[in-house]
Structures are given as structure tokens and as C-alpha cells.
Structure 1
Amino acid sequence: MPAENRTQRRTAKISVGTLTAMVVGSMVGAGVFSLPSRFAGETGVLGALISWLVAGAGMLMLAFVFQRLAVRKPDLDSGVYAYAKAGFGEYLGFFSAFGYWASACVGNVTYWILIMSTVGAVLPVLGEGDTLVAFAVSTACVWLFYLLVRRGVQEAATINRIVTVAKVLPIIAFVLIAVFLLDPQVLRDNFDGYGSKGPLFEQVRGTMLATVFVFLGVEGASVYSRHARRREDVGRATVLGFLMVLAIFASVTIVSYGILPMEELAELRQPSMAGVLEAAVGGWGAAFVSIGLIVSVLGAYLAWTLMSAEVLFVAAKDGDMPRFLARSDANDVPRSALLLTTILIQVMLLVTLLSDDAFTFALDLTSALSLIPFLLAAGYALKLAAGRGGPAHGSPAARDLVIAVAAVLYTAFLLFAAGLTFVLLSFVIYAPATILFAMTRREQGRRVFSRRELVIFVVSLVGGVAGVVALATGTISI
């Protein structure tokens, strides 16, 4: 049998159920276990309800964007990156691929910090995931997972499907227990607690990066579109997975306000969900949530490692990343992309040792890095809906235009909510990435920048330099 046919037989084709599990598995990770204290530190019940309404509506628009683009542009694989390139050119497409990849890698760092912090409640030497011992243990685990993913995409996706079920059940159990033991008076006291936290708008803004982080992965099925059995399965899995996860996240947040006063919720050690259940039922509650967290986070880490390597691989296959990243083996594993992904995770683990609050820093940076790729994807959907995207499957409709406009406005608001610190830190990471773009152009014997691309590069470079200066002078800190 020819080598090409053998490779095709090994290429994984994933069902809508497994794609949905990839979406749920990607979103339900470290973030959900940190929600009680993250929200309580910013706002009360009213502010939380508004935050989930805004985030849910905005992210639903993004989910619809990915659903519609999957149908209208079935030739575009690895959605987030491919849509940015199709809509705004190669350089911004490259930025989208790199930013999405970097966001996934930094997000994976939060998983190890949270696992170490969870175990640190029993083994103090691990602290809150920010000690040298925690760093060493996390490093060993990172490379063990690298070896696991190298076994193959299909095996890893199947494992993720099983783990997704195993990790959602403890979270649902938490919600049911908290509802049964909820104290209506505590909930009422927390309802209008926003008065002590400043203007309601600022409270909602303060929760936005947390909501972005927990919803990262809504595009998971789109990223793996080349493995889908049918193109329409990508959109179905995206919306179905999103709605399931939105219900879980909002429930975890709101029921926690009925267990402890806001001030106590805000001071809980991460994972704060464990502290909430411990207050409700005793020590076994913390142990129950901690076990669920470890299963959940390991599953999410697996899913995100797969997706981030996939983005680099497809970008390289399209000629938008250096050729060495386009190599895959007989098991359909992009090994070079997987290795580079693991290396960046390792580097970011080291950076978090310098942070005052390693988990919060990594979480917020993950969210900030993802915003430009999301904004570009939404912008491409807007171009298509306005009839400016060239030939497409299906004609523009008013509904598509409304969805695209809403998605663009929402992602632009998220950039505003992120604030100057994380925008500048994003540029510090984005600007040096242009080295990979230059390598790619040199390999192809092409000029590195067009005039338009040079302007974009200068803007990113200025932002990166400003970020470094701000860090050096203490204007911003990590």
C-alpha cells in the first residue's frame, strides 16, 4: 500500500459527539474551579448575573460566528488562524495563529499551577503552585504529557472524551449540593454587595477576563475541523458545547454566593470551589472537589495541547510558519509543533515564578492573548456578512450581519476590559514572534514585509518596547 494511502487511513475522523467533548473538555478546566473567589473579589450576585449575561451573549455570538464560518468556508481548516488570514492577509493571519497558540500554552501553565496549589493544601512544600518544588514537579508532568500526545491524535481525543465525562460529573454534583444547602439570607446579603466594590460597570468589567478564560475553547471544534467527519458537525459541536458549559459556569458562580459571605469567598485559597464545598459539608467536600479538579485539569491540558500544536502545524502547512513545524509522523502527530508547544509551556512556567500571584497572572495573560485572534475571526465574519469576502457557500443574510457585528463589539469591549497592562504584555509576546514570520518568508524567497505589513510590524514593535519599558520602570508588574 502506498505511503500516502497508509497516512490517510491513520488520519483521525472525529464524530460530532467527540467534537462536542473537545469543546466541553477545552472549556471546563482550571477556570471553573476558581470562579467563586474571582467573582466575589469583584462583585456581588447582581454584578455576577450581569457579567454572565454579557459574557454569555457575547461568546454565543462568537460561537455562532465559528458555526457560520465552518459552513460558509469549508475549505478553511484550523479556524481561528485561517479566518484571520483569509480576511486580513498573511501577517495578521500569522499573528492570529501565534497569539492563539501562545494563549493556549500560557493557559496550560495555569493548569499546573492550580494542580500544585490543590495538592499544596496537603503538601505545603508546593505552596500555591509557585514554589521551586512545584515548578520541578510541573516540569516533569509537562514532559510526560508530551510523550502521551506523541502516541497519536485519535488516542488522545478518545481519552479526552472519557475524561470530559469524568470531570463534568463532580462539578454538577457541586452545584446540586450547593443548591440544597444554600442559605437564602446569605444569598440576599450578597445580592447588593456591589455597593462596596465601586460602580457596577467597573465590577462587571473586572470579571471579564475571568469569563474569557473559562470560555476559551469555544472554538475547539473549529480548530480540529480537518478531522471532522462532516463539516456541519463543527458548528453543531461548537454551539452545543458552549450552551452546556455556560449553564455549568453560571451555576457554579451563583450558588456559591449562597454558601459564604462575599468577603470570605474572595479570600478563599484556589481552587476556591473546594473552599465553598468545605464550608458547606466539611473536609470531605474539599477533597471531593480537589479530585474532580485534578481530573478536569488534566483532561483540559490534554485537549489544549492537541489544539495548540494543531494550529502551528496547519499554519506551517499553509506556508505561514517555518517548514519544520509542518512535519507530522505516521500517527498524524505534528511532532515539531508539539515540541515547540511544550517548550513554550516550560518557559512560561519559569516566568510565573517571578509573579506575585502566579495563577491570576497566567489566567489573565491567557485571556488577553486570545482577544486579537477572536477579534480578527469576528472581523472576517463581518466582511463576509457585508458581502466583501469573495465567493462563499451561501449568501449573506441580515442574521449573519447582526451576529458578526455583535461579536466584533464584544471582543473590542474585552480588549478595553483587559486594560493597559495586559495589552502591553501581549505586545511583548507578539512582537518577537515576527522572527518566525521572517524565517518563513526567507524560506520562500520572498520579501519579508509588504508596505502594509511593515506598518503592522512597527505598531507591534512599538507596543512591545513600551511593554518592556513599563515592566522595567515598574509602571506595570506581573
Structure 2
Amino acid sequence: MSTRNDAKARALGIPSATGLVIGSIVGTGVFTMPAVLAGAGTMSLLVLGVIAVGAMVLAVLFGQLTKRIPNADGGLYAYSRHEFGDFAGYLTGWCYWVQSWAGNAAIVASWVFYVDALFGWKPSGLGNWGIALVGLWIPAVINLLGVRQVAWFQNISVVLKFLPLLFIGLVGWFFVSSGRFGAFNMSGGSLYAGIGIAAGVALFSFIGVEAAAMTAKRVRDPERNVGVASLLGTGLSAVLYLLTSAAVMGLVPHTALVATGSPFVNAFDAMFPGTPWAGKFIAAVAVVSGIGALNGWTLLITETSRAIAQDDLFPRPFAWEDRNHTAWFGILVGTLLPSLLMLWRYEASTGLTVFTYLVDLTVVTVAIPYFMSALAQLTYLVSTRRRVQGWALARDLMVSAVSVLFAMWVTFAAGYQAVYQALVVLLAGLILYAFLNARRQRLGEAPTPVDAAVPAAGAAVSGRNGAHDGRAALAPRRAGR
């Protein structure tokens, strides 16, 4: 019976795991990304290429970590906890959990643009919020049905969106005009300012490279399949991003591109002028793509919170499972939070401003788990526990070092405001950890710190100003060892 249950839980093979990676990476971000990149100029394509290389290195890193810790539940959280202990694990898991549901809010913000374009709607802020709720809760229902339904829907949605995007990335180049590209730096500021604009949305578009690692408990033969799926899914996504983003920049005039939230509709209209169905078709593809990405990320949100809760480092209801091994409470909370976040953002701002704000918040909070994962592998490699030598050691050290520097650079490039907001989120998580750790100490699940003994009334004091001598209080404890 246990073998059958384990096989049911590990429902993801290489095709499904790769589909999960691609589906998590290629959401609706790619459909809005060219408009944001155009604001930085054509230099943004170089930044996108650098981010793609960094994402490929991260894919290799996560494969190495999973091979070393194949049964670790929770991916990035588990790697940090394995190497650095409960506090580092919680910090990593908290940041990743926050970026997951905040990232879902960013995905659905882009998704709303294409729903509006598909149906020709121009709703108010609350109207767009209602559309966003549909995009968030349909994947929640799919996830509540179980991981097999998630895998089936993920594979279908990846095919439906990958082929049309590849079409515009290849055929679209026959319609490109060099005069439509903007200048190298269109940020209106320094080169650094342009890099900051491009780096944020570029990294956001690659978040999901860790999808197979985060769901390793659901993947068959994770020691091999997680690394293969991560690298394959990230590589295919990188090629698609570069081809399509550059093609859209050459299809849509720069002034029109930076003013739209649905640039692929403009690109298809440019390829097939006078054909009303062209723009509607790609809008429909973007809608399906967004649902697929939201579907995969809802699973990742749930798996992250479930793994932390099972270790008693998160509120226990997040570990509640039904007969399909679905952590239903985590799904509900992980969908409710972005729903409320979208209500706040649509009340405060409109258009691309909503999308870019959520992107910036997501980028910095995910850079912290990437950084901690790279440090975990680096610690292992420079310790005496490592099993690799010679060229293999040099290779693995290079992967870890590049991953550390990449995560630091992304944090730096995101800008001061994003780092400030992420710090506030991190501090809020530490408040929750204080209460969780206190509960674990009461239950004997965590070591209780030994406080200095308080001298009895009338005990002698020493030192200036009559202060108690802490060394004297500790002396009996030393003698008793």
C-alpha cells in the first residue's frame, strides 16, 4: 500500500516535470515583457541574455542540490535548513512563499490585460479585480482536485502556448522592420537605470527555474529527473524569450509598444493587418498561458508552505492533506492572499504600474532563496564532507560562485525601493518565527537556550557599580560537567 501511495504522490516524470518548469517560467510575463523591456531600449535584450545564462546556472545548481539531497521536501527551503538549520530554513521558506503568491498576483495582473484585449473590455479597477479573481481561483480548483490533474492541465497548456509563441519568434522575423526598434538606452537616465528596468522584469520572467526542485517529492527519480527537467525547461524558455521579445520590438513601433499592456496583440496585428482574428487569437493564447502558469505556481505555493509546516516551522494547518495528498488549506490561503493584494493594487494604481510594482516585490524576495541555496551548496563544497574532486570540484565551485554573485547582482539591480519593501516583508516573517519558535521550545521540539542563573537574594555581588558577576553565576555549572 505504501509503495502504491508513493507512486501516486510521485506522479511527475520528465515530460511533466519539464512542462511544470516551462509552465511556471512562461506565464503571461512573456506576453507583457516586451513592453517593459522597450522602456529600457534595445540594451534590454542583452540584459535578458545575461539573466538567461544566470537562470541556466541556477538550473544546474538545483539539479546538484537535489542529487545530493534527493528526498528533501520543499526544495530551496529544505536545502537551507539541511545546511544551516531551522532559522535559515524558515527564512528561506518564508521569502519563497511570499514571492510565490505575490508572483501569482503579478502573473494575473498581466493576464487581465489579455482578457480585456480578447473580449474588448475596458473595465474599472474593481472590474479588473473581478477578472483577476477568476484567473486566481480556477487554478486553485484544479489543484484541489489533485496533482495528477495539475500535471495533465500543465502539459496541455504548455503545448497550447509554446507553439504560437515559437511561431511569432520565428515567422515574425519576416515582418520585422529595423526602424521600429528604439535606441540602445531609452530609459531617460544612465545605463544603470536602464539595466534596472530590464533586469527586474527579465528575472521575474525566469522565476520558476526551481519548479522541479520545489516539487521533488512529486517527481519520479528526483536525483536524475529534477536536474534534467530544470535545465531543459529553462533552456527552451530562454530561447523562446529572446526570439519573441526581439521580434515584438521589431514589429511594433516603440511609442506604441511602451504604451500597451498587451504587446503581442499589436505584434500579430502588424503581421496580419486587416485580420481581426489575429489579435484575438494571440490574446486567447495568452489567457490559456496565464492559467497554466497560475496553475503551476499554485502548486508551488502549496508545496512550499506544506513542507515548512510539516517541520513545525509554519502554522500547522498548512500541512493538512486530503486523500489525494493535496494540502488544501495552503491552496486556499495561497490564493486568498494574492486576491487581497490585487484588490489593494487596483484601488491604488492602474495599467502597467500594477504589474511592475508586483514584479519588483517578487524579484527581491526570490533572490534571497536563490542566494541561500547557492550558499548551501558552496558550504558543502568547501567542507570536508564533499565527494567531488579535481575538475568536478572546480566545476561545481564555479556553479555555486556564479549563482551567489548572480543573486546578489539581481538584488542590487532591482533598486532601493524594491529592496526596502522586501526587507519589510522579511521582518514581518521574523515576527511570526518568534512565536513559532517559542511554541516549539515549549513542546520540546527545539533546544531551549540556557539563560544565566539569577543569584539568590543577598548573594554577593562583584564588579564596579555593584553589578552581578556573570562568571561567578556560571562557575557551578562548569564545575558540574
Aligned residue number for residue 206 of structure 1: 197
Give the partner amino acid of 1:319: D
In structure 2, relative to structure 1, the CA distance for the partners of 1:186 and 1:342 (3 Å cut) is closer
How far, CA to CA, are the matches of 1:234 and 1:374 in structure 2?
A: 16
TM-score scaled by length of structure 1: 0.85
Is the contact made by 1:119 and 1:126 (CA closer than 8 Å) also made in structure 2? Answer: no
How far, CA to CA, are the matches of 1:425 and 1:156 in structure 2?
A: 32
Aligned residue number for residue 126 of structure 1: 123
Q: Please state how far the C-alpha of 1:110 moved relative to its aligned partner.
A: 2.2
In structure 2, relative to structure 1, the CA distance for the partners of 1:449 and 1:61 (3 Å cut) is farther
- Compare CA radii of gyration and give the structure with the larger one: 2
In structure 2, relative to structure 1, the CA distance for the partners of 1:229 and 1:445 (3 Å cut) is same
**Among 40, 43, 56, the residue aligned to 2:41:** 43
**Among 55, 75, 80, the residue aligned to 2:76:** 80
**Among 124, 135, 138, the residue aligned to 2:132:** 138
* Pair 1:277-2:277 in alignment: no
In structure 2, relative to structure 1, the CA distance for the partners of 1:164 and 1:393 (3 Å cut) is farther
How far, CA to CA, are the matches of 1:449 and 1:33 in structure 2?
A: 49
* Pair 1:238-2:230 in alignment: yes
Q: Please state how far the C-alpha of 1:68 moved relative to its aligned partner.
A: 1.1
Q: Please state how far the C-alpha of 1:125 moved relative to its aligned partner.
A: 4.2
How far, CA to CA, are the matches of 2:429 and 2:63 in structure 1?
A: 29
RMSD: 2.3
How far, CA to CA, are the matches of 2:241 and 2:172 in structure 1?
A: 14
Q: Please state how far the C-alpha of 1:53 moved relative to its aligned partner.
A: 2.7
Is the contact made by 1:7 and 1:332 (CA closer than 8 Å) also made in structure 2? Answer: no
Deviations 1:22-61 (A, max 9, x none): 10010010110012211110122xx133212321221122
Give the partner amino acid of 2:348: S
Aligned residue number for residue 168 of structure 1: 162
Deviations 1:290-310 (A, max 9, x none): 011001000000000001100
How far, CA to CA, are the matches of 1:434 and 1:366 in structure 2?
A: 18
Aligned residue number for residue 398 of structure 1: 394
Is the contact made by 1:117 and 1:126 (CA closer than 8 Å) also made in structure 2? Answer: no
How far, CA to CA, are the matches of 1:270 and 1:22 in structure 2?
A: 25
SS in 1 for 2:441: coil
Q: Please state how far the C-alpha of 1:21 moved relative to its aligned partner.
A: 0.5
* Pair 1:250-2:242 in alignment: yes
Aligned residue number for residue 418 of structure 1: 414
Deviations 1:347-395 (A, max 9, x none): 212221243321221122222221111111111122122226xx45655
In structure 2, relative to structure 1, the CA distance for the partners of 1:49 and 1:137 (3 Å cut) is closer
Aligned residue number for residue 294 of structure 2: 301
Matches within 5 A, 1:146-165: 146-165=140-159
Aligned residue number for residue 353 of structure 1: 346
Q: Please state how far the C-alpha of 1:250 moved relative to its aligned partner.
A: 0.7
SS in 2 for 1:226: helix
How far, CA to CA, are the matches of 1:196 and 1:28 in structure 2?
A: 25
Which stretch of structure 1 is more off in the superposition, 429-438 or 335-344? 429-438
Which stretch of structure 1 is more off in the superposition, 47-56 or 221-230? 47-56
Q: Please state how far the C-alpha of 1:140 moved relative to its aligned partner.
A: 4.5
In structure 2, relative to structure 1, the CA distance for the partners of 1:134 and 1:264 (3 Å cut) is closer
Aligned residue number for residue 319 of structure 1: 312
Q: Please state how far the C-alpha of 1:237 moved relative to its aligned partner.
A: 0.5
**Among 10, 13, 36, the residue aligned to 1:12:** 10
How far, CA to CA, are the matches of 1:445 and 1:202 in structure 2?
A: 47
Aligned residue number for residue 321 of structure 2: 328
How far, CA to CA, are the matches of 1:102 and 1:13 in structure 2?
A: 26
In structure 2, relative to structure 1, the CA distance for the partners of 1:313 and 1:393 (3 Å cut) is farther
Aligned residue number for residue 286 of structure 1: 279
* Pair 1:382-2:384 in alignment: no
How far, CA to CA, are the matches of 1:72 and 1:140 in structure 2?
A: 40
Q: Please state how far the C-alpha of 1:5 moved relative to its aligned partner.
A: 6.5
Matched positions, count: 438
Is the contact made by 1:322 and 1:439 (CA closer than 8 Å) also made in structure 2? Answer: no
How far, CA to CA, are the matches of 2:7 and 2:63 in structure 1?
A: 27
In structure 2, relative to structure 1, the CA distance for the partners of 1:6 and 1:49 (3 Å cut) is closer
Give the partner amino acid of 1:343: L
After superposing on structure 2, the runs of 4+ consecutive aligned residues of structure 1 that deviate more than 6 Å are 447-451
Matches within 5 A, 1:387-466: 387=383, 391=385, 394=388, 397-446=393-442
Is the contact made by 2:28 and 2:289 (CA closer than 8 Å) also made in structure 1? Answer: yes
Which stretch of structure 1 is more off in the superposition, 290-299 or 101-110? 101-110
In structure 2, relative to structure 1, the CA distance for the partners of 1:142 and 1:266 (3 Å cut) is closer
Deviations 1:136-193 (A, max 9, x none): 2332453343232111112111211111111111111222331121124545xx4x54
* Pair 1:337-2:330 in alignment: yes
Q: Please state how far the C-alpha of 1:449 moved relative to its aligned partner.
A: 10
Which stretch of structure 1 is more off in the superposition, 115-124 or 343-352? 115-124
Give the partner amino acid of 1:246: A
Q: Please state how far the C-alpha of 1:12 moved relative to its aligned partner.
A: 3.3
**Among 210, 213, 217, the residue aligned to 1:222:** 213
Which stretch of structure 1 is more off in the superposition, 400-409 or 116-125? 116-125
How far, CA to CA, are the matches of 1:168 and 1:38 in structure 2?
A: 21
How far, CA to CA, are the matches of 1:173 and 1:293 in structure 2?
A: 14
Deviations 1:307-335 (A, max 9, x none): 11001101111222122221111101011
TM-score scaled by length of structure 2: 0.85
How far, CA to CA, are the matches of 1:99 and 1:63 in structure 2?
A: 19
In structure 2, relative to structure 1, the CA distance for the partners of 1:276 and 1:197 (3 Å cut) is farther
Aligned residue number for residue 456 of structure 1: none
